[in-house]
Chain A
Amino acid sequence: MKYIPNTSRDKEKIYKKLGVSSFDELLEDIPKELISDKRIDIPGPLSEIEIERKLESLSAQNAPEKKILSFAGAGAYDHYVPAHIETIISRSEFLTAYTPYQPEISQGTLQTIYEYQSLICELTGLDVSNASMYDGASALAEAALMASRIKKRNKILIAGTVNPSYVKVVKTYLQGLEIEVLTIPQKNGILDIDVFKELIDENVNACVFQYPDFFGSIQDIDEYCEIASSKGALKIFSVDPIALGILESPAAFGADIITGEGQPMGIPLSFGGPYLGFFACRREYVRQMPGRVVGATTDKEGRHGFVLTLQTREQHIRREKATSNICSNQALTALAACVYLVSLGKEGIREVALQCLSKSHYAAKSLCSINSEIELINDKPFFKEFALSLPVSARDVIERMSISGIIPGVALSSFFDKSYENMLLVAVTEKRSREEISSLVSGLDKTIKQLY
């Protein structure tokens, strides 16, 4: 494909055909003050060898992924991505395909989405999954919108232990809808149930929780769910899909909608994505569910096939009255998650989850034994991530240790107020070896001594 398709001779021909003498004449109807006379500052062309050098020097500015030891999490996790996932999703039939707008000719794509949906239902324990959404945050926001469509009330309660970035996205999505978003306060990762009891009433569409929560902890949410149900509010959860390998899904304690970030399922860490939002709900709410849904059917000759179903609520048919303005999906990352789940199987996911659990507990124990001033911020059980209180600023620690190639975690002060300054959120996945955890422990020990 040519990047500058029109030669000056092409242009002359076009002008002649249009009956104008120049490009500017074409723009005559646009008021002068709206036309910028500034040239766009684009550098001149480079030769192949020059461009290669340029791109190499740019990419050299990236931290070499393999040499950085990362314990950072807070929503994106360094899990192992089996090599065959990239091989499969790199097939051109998958790599270049967009969400199918003429679904019947894309049976292969539809089948992978159908399989993906089935796996998400299996994982979450809910009845219906959509074809996927952009990321965990937007999936959660869509869930809040969906609950508001179902309940038609005017409040959403969101736990203070939900990822603060997700909370921002939820608030952004609900802006202008006259739905108030109220936060259930937390202190050191522990929710205040008394305030929750004061906030919840018959005007609440849904209560939103994260599981395990942003601090990595698994809190007793049963009581919250019971109270929410007694007021007729829906229960929405954002979950870590890997945790569901060993933890009971919130569906067991009454979740109506379960969403989450699918990145841990075979999708590499990359700056901002593309990631994957998964979204599942109870069958009774399927008509209010955003996004596309692939269904299985038989054609008139009785042959098995796949279709996009429930499209009547989408915007190409229902226009401004569509259920949601999402009628796309993340087909490629959904495929990666599908391949990941299929390759690992039930036992494999369980194994990954168990390794996360034991390695993170081993790391927490080792880190806390450095000195008495390092401790977990609360005594709640945790899965693969935990928050430590340090005797020094977490940001300073991260800055120092990063120089030597270890990212020890994420500073909670980036998300919360100054009282969290010394708190470090550490994620330990199945990928971390004993030696790597030892490097983290000795690195932190050394750094704290330097900073003291």
Chain B
Amino acid sequence: MSSPSAAPLDLLYSEAEEELRTAVRSLLAVRCDAAGILARIEGGRPHDPELWRILAADIGAAGLLVPEKLGGQGASHREAAVVLEELGRAAAPVPYLTSAVLATEILLGCDSTRAADLLREPAAGRQICVPALPLTLAPGAPLPAPVHDSGDGRLSGTVTSVADAVAADVLLVLADTGLHAVPAANARITPLVALDLTRPLATVILDGAAATRLADPATARAAIAGALLSGAGLLASEQLGIAEWCLTETVAHLRTRHQFNRPLGSFQALKHRLARLWLDVASARAAARAAADALATGAADAPLTVAVAQAYCSGVAVRAAEECVQLHGGIGMTWEHPAHLYLKRAKADSLALGTAGHHRGLVADFAELPAP
């Protein structure tokens, strides 16, 4: 290996990060309970604009990655990761990953005045800005074919599986002439029926949509690549939050639920499954923290650390959610119990920003362990 040992990563949580966690968790406890999420989903409007306003603007979470001079908080990926842990723990239907992470990183990567100006609104939580890219797009994978720019700043084309587009004010679109900002009102956004009820998907159709160009094609592609890396690294923290909720709920259930005149949690077969899951969650925390810290410090081996975190945390979140359903028995199969929200989110997350298999392929490249 070219870099056998990386600089030491800070894998703990700082006091400021714990304070941020407390603020986000308290908000979600009040404004984002499972019954409320289900009610909004059934009403066809999964996003809660008021929750987003408080989280993004009042708490300032939307601008964590944005420098203060551009109207943000000037924090880092470490803080954004803590927010995502809590959002995962609550299966919260808010466009944080798309607007506050992916779109924000793309705009920061454009390094242009126009992009910086555009960033002020989402950074302050006043607008939702969403990249018009398929949620499955992975770092290191070829970008999808760009939409066509007819030359007069009008874009035409279709992008599939765009997460949170239904809530967007602005879309970031990769066209053959570079990156463009398109007001959502100028696009046709067709909601899809998605596996994950808490992160809605849509098809974005542009039919001569008026757009503002932000960057040339090369800059746009580099900015998107950087954003996908950050997004994948921080998604690991959301997956950690999902897994933690599933483990905690399942342990609580097995401690109190009695069958055969014993608490279920006293059966060794079940204890061992939960102990193994706990171990996996503890390991996922180390992997997710490593990715967040490597991104925050711009470590040279950040792409490897991110790939390791994604290759590991995707599977842990899915397994935790699957164990949660199974160990809740029939209760876990019901619509009323929130386990299914987490299972759907975990499974969709395992496809988002690259599968574990894709990220293992990246590990093979970075660690110089080539395929046959």
* A, B assembled together: no
